[in-house]
Amino acid sequence: MRTFLTSRRGILTGRLLVGTAVIVAAAILPLLAIDIPGVLPGPTYTPGTLTVLAYAMLIAALALSYHLIFGVAGMLSFGHAMFFAAGAYGLGIILRLLAPTGMPSEVVFLLSIGITLVVALVLGNLVGALALRVSGISFAMVTLAIAQAMNVMIRRNVGGLTGGEEGITLTVSVVPDWLVGVVNTRNLYWMALAVLVLVYLACVWVERSRLGHVVAAARENELRVTVLGLRPYLVRLFLFGTAAVLAAVAGMGFMLLQSSATPRISTSDFTLTLLVIVVLGGVGYRWGAIVGGIVYTLLDQRLAALASSDVIAGLPDVLRIPLSEPLFILGMLFVLVVMFAPGGIVGIAHRATGWRGSKKDVEEPAVLQDMEA
Amino acid sequence: MTTVLLLLITGVGLGALYFLVASGLSLIYGLMGVLNFAHGSFLTLAGFLGWEVGRRVGDGSWAGLLTGMLVGLVVGALVAAITELVFIRPLYNRHIEQVLVTVGLGLASVALFEGIWGTDPIQIRLPEWLGQTTDVLGANIPNDRWLLIGSAALVLVGIVLFLQKTSYGLVIRAGVENRTMVTALGIDVRRAFTIVFAIGGAAAGLGGVLASVYYGQVGAHQGTSLLIYAFIVTVIGGLGSLSGAAIASVLVAVIQQFANFYLGGTGDLAVVLALAAVLLVRPTGLMGKVKH
């Protein structure tokens, strides 16, 4: 006998309810005074904590867009950070260029966002069109090389636009008042939450669409998809372009939150961090990217705080040096997850609760089986 | 003319450095299908340890440098072999996980090196002769380039002799061609994996010490920055091809030198463009074979 909760519609309604509850809980967080010592830097209403949480959500949104490329399409891209950087730098540069035109600041702000989105779309499609001509490791290398070239151009301050190593700052005069300053950290937090929800919905939409199914099918067996008369190249290109735009959206959120951007966000190390996040959370799971992004960011922040604490400083060198390097701990954690828990955090959670959903077969993802080819 | 000659020889010198890193990468990929992101860390660790031992033997002397190079070779081989046994072998035939593990190791080890030796590169002392120049047809070539070129040539000859003249070399060559067939013939190809990792690691380790000679300093990020060029070299040369790696190393380094000099410091961009061009025209690389 099928009860309401096990029927398909029941599961969908249930998920919708859980999702809404999570969003509502996240949205009222700035109004509460929850203090989790060791996890958060302070009570949830303080600007410091809200900034960390907002940053974590933007990273989660970026990881979600990477999940589209890596988890859904099974393509190992080492250049995803360049689209995040395109969003952050694009918004910063265009705002600064349009600021002296004398247009009302609201118009300048919206126009800049629009232009940045178009730039990201064009860039994503250009890079994708080139890189998708090859597959597997070569694809990874082409994306790595292009991202590296972008990083070099940003650091060299080409055309005097990017500010070189110093980076660029936000032109606050044309940004709406409610998004500027420490007083409005709460609004920035809600903005980051909105970005995350928006990117999540876009991912759901893409994955559930017919195009998403074709991309997933091409990941599993490209030859069969081709024989069926479909062209994997075009759907992959669309997916790549979509992921680029979504990454740029997260990048714009980052620019508004941090009020500045440095070349660090365009390095290949930053893309590798994304890879770590997606695998840590669980490849192939949307929730994995979100959980991974938030866990990674909080761990990174807290481990850095731990590193400068007295407890660590008192230890002998053999323990003190590794423990005071957050990236060392995160890197080794990542290695352990890859070796012993291929499903990541979400995979472990599913195994622990005995949950067997429709994604059972994604548990040990067959991503990039064509790497050898 | 002298400028062209200078750029050409210094380019070959830099290419020698790229080759030391890329040869191991290419062999490992060819045999095992693993793109080793931890290769840069072998290089950095060997560079640091070679320097630490070398300066105790004799700071700025030939004895110190040669000891350092020897230490680099041994450290690189050992660390690479241990990495293969502990991290790569349990994930046998799961290529994506193997790549991910090396990515994690690469990130973690660089952080560890930063913790031990600091974030800033350390200036090192070298034998005086290396700081001087030699006159070749009017071009003043820095002497350290000769050391680089000589060492890389020795490594190339050594690896080729090993692959051609020994039975393990035969297994490795056959494994690169068709691993399944080698396994089917009853040969334990996994021992060849460890050997290939050790050889690649030794070359990278020597490269680590020589990189510190080239740059005049040792730093935690030296391996990572060289690794990106080595990747590009490996892809241009054709993944799995030793001769391809040798040719592409020199090609990439010379292009980089010339673009840096004549096109206003655009060496990095020129290299990336070269990669894009090669991949679009010939996706398997210059000497790459189509794998079945």
Q: What is the pLDDT of residue A362?
A: 42
pLDDT above 90 for A91: yes
- Cβ within 8 Å, pair B283-A138: yes
Whether residue A358 has pLDDT greater than 50 = no
Give chain A's radius of gyration (CA, Å). Answer: 21
- Asked whether residue B26 is domain-assigned, the answer is yes
Q: Do B115 and A322 count as a contact with CB atoms less than 8 A apart? A: yes
CB A203 within 8 Å of CB A216: no
Domain count, chain B: 1
B112:A322 CB<8 A: yes
Chain A: residue nearest B176 by CA? Answer: A372
DSSP E strands in B17-136: the ranges are 122-123, 133-136
Interior CA angle at B35 toward B32 and B41, to 5°? 115
Domain membership flag for residue A227: yes
Q: At residue B255, what is the residue type?
A: I
* Gap between the Cα atoms of A143 and A275, Å rounded: 14
Is A45 within a domain? yes
pLDDT over 50 (residue A361): no
Q: List chain B residues with CB under 8 Å of A149.
A: 268-269, 272
Q: How far is CA B29 from its chain centroid?
A: 13
Containing structural domain, residue B143: 2-281
A293 vs A181, more confident: A293
Closest residue to B228, CB basis, from A137, A148, A339 = A148
**Is residue B290 a part of any domain in this protein?**
no
For the segment B68-78, the average pLDDT, to the nearest whole number, is: 92
- Whether B228 shows a pLDDT value over 80: the answer reads yes
Confidence of residue A9 (pLDDT cuts 50, 70, 90): confident
Report the mean per-residue pLDDT for chain A: 84
Quick check: A87 and A116 in contact, CB under 8 A?
A: yes
Average the pLDDT over B181-208 and give the result.
88
**Interface contacts A/B by beta carbons within 8 Å:** 122
Q: Does A231 touch chain B (CB under 8 A)?
A: no
Q: How far apart are CA B121 and CA B209, in angstroms?
A: 14
How far B23 CA sits from the closest chain A CA (Å)?
17
- Across residues A150-159, what is the average pLDDT? 82
- Note whether ipTM > 0.85 here: no
- Average pLDDT for B23-47: 87
Interatomic CA distance for residues A304 and A298, integer angstroms: 10
Distance to chain B for A36, nearest Cα, Å: 28
Closest CA–CA distance from residue B116 to any residue of chain A (Å): 7
Point out the residue among B108, B109, B276 whose CB comes nearest to the CB of A130: B276
Average pLDDT value over all residues in chain B: 86
Cα dist. B40→A94, B70, B112, B211 in Å? Answer: 38, 18, 14, 11
Residue A365 has pLDDT above 60, yes or no: no
- The answer to whether the CB atoms of B232 and A141 lie below 8 A apart is yes
Q: What is the CATH number of the domain that holds A305?
A: 1.10.3470
What is residue A320's predicted lDDT score, i.e. its pLDDT?
78
Residue A272: inside a domain = yes
Sequence length of chain A is 373
Q: What is the CATH number of the domain that holds B252?
A: 1.10.3470
Number of domains in chain A: 1
Checking if the pLDDT of A166 tops 70, the result is yes
CA dihedral sign of residues B131, B135, B136, B138: positive
Is B291 within a domain?
no
pLDDT, residue B79, reads 94
Question: Using CB atoms, which residue from A130, A137, A368 is nearest to B239?
Answer: A137
The rounded distance, in Å, linking the Cα atoms of A274 and A254 is: 15
Give percent above pLDDT 90 in chain B: 22
Nearest CA in chain A to B291: A373
Please answer yes or no on whether A146 and B239 come within 8 Å at the CB atom: no
Kindly state the average pLDDT of the residues B227-245: 86
Domain residue limits at A259: 17-372
Q: Which residue in A339, A340, A363, A369 has the most chain B C-beta atoms within 10 A of its own C-beta, making it the best mutation to test that interface?
A: A339
Q: Taking CB atoms and an 8 Å limit, are B231 and A141 in contact across chains?
A: yes
A126 CB within 8 Å of a chain B CB: no
A202 lies in some domain: yes
CB contact (8 A) between residue A134 and residue B283? yes
* Cβ neighbours of B116 in A, within 8 Å: 321
Q: Which residue has the higher pLDDT, B207 or A12?
A: B207
- Considering only CB atoms, which chain A residues are within 8 Å of B97? 338-339, 342
pLDDT in the model for residue A156:
82
| A121 in Cβ contact with A241 (< 8 Å) | yes
| A5: Cα separation from own chain's centroid | 32
pLDDT at B290 over 80: no
Q: Of the given ranges (A222-236, A267-281, B127-141, B172-186), which has the lowest mean pLDDT?
A: B127-141
DSSP letters for A294-358: HHHHHHHHHHHHHHTSHHHHTS-HHHHHHHT-HHHHHHHHHHHHHHH-TTHHHHHHHHHHT---T
* Integer Cα distance of B116 and B114 in angstroms: 6
The SS3 assignment for A222 reads helix
Encoded tokens for B136: 């070749």
Query: Is A11 within the bounds of a domain?
Result: no
How high is the pLDDT of residue B249? 92
Q: Which residues in chain A have their CB less than 8 angstroms from residue B107's CB?
A: 269, 272-273, 276, 327, 330-331, 334
The angle subtended at Cα A70 by Cα A65 and Cα A75, nearest 5°, is 125
B269 chain-A contacts, CB cut-off 8 A: 149, 152-153
pTM, two decimals, is 0.84
- Cβ-based neighbours of B126, under 8 Å, separated by 6 or more: B60, B65, B144, B213, B216
Q: Report d(CA A204, CA A198) in Å as an integer.
A: 10
- Write the pLDDT tens digit of every residue in A176-210: 888 887 778 889 999 999 999 999 999 999 999 98
Non-local CB neighbours of A164 within 8 Å, separated by 6+ positions: A155, A156, A157, A263
| Domain assignment present for B160 | yes
